[in-house]
Amino acid sequence: MSIALPAVLTIAEARATVERLVAALAAENQPVLDASGLQTLDSAAIAVLLECRRAAQAAGKTLQLVGAPPKLGELARLYGVDGLLA
């Protein structure tokens, strides 16, 4: 089962989103984040995804990201973390 990212993920939503996603990731054996509904984002989205990745790794899990919109990929490349989010 995939865990959906919100439609809006900016600095204003980052803290609450991390808390929700990390809790949801803990309940999944093979966590998948679905970014297909993400419409409005800023660099905080990258930070949120990296925190989710860290939480999954700490639990011995591999996090998969699907449905990433082009802007998310552009931001990841800009910050040099596109390989970490692949």
Instruction: Give residue-wise pLDDT tens across range 28-58.
Output: 999 999 999 999 999 999 999 999 999 999 9
42 closest CA partner among 17, 69, 9: 9
pLDDT number for residue 86: 64
pTM of the predicted structure, to 2 decimals = 0.92
pLDDT number for residue 59: 96
Instruction: State which residues form the domain around 32.
Output: 2-85
Domain with residue 45: its CATH number is 3.30.750.24
Domain count, the chain: 1
For residues 8 and 26, give the distance between their C-alpha atoms in angstroms, rounded to a whole number. Answer: 22
- DSSP-assigned beta bridge partners for residue 32: 2, 64
Tokens for 55, please give them.
Answer: 């939480």
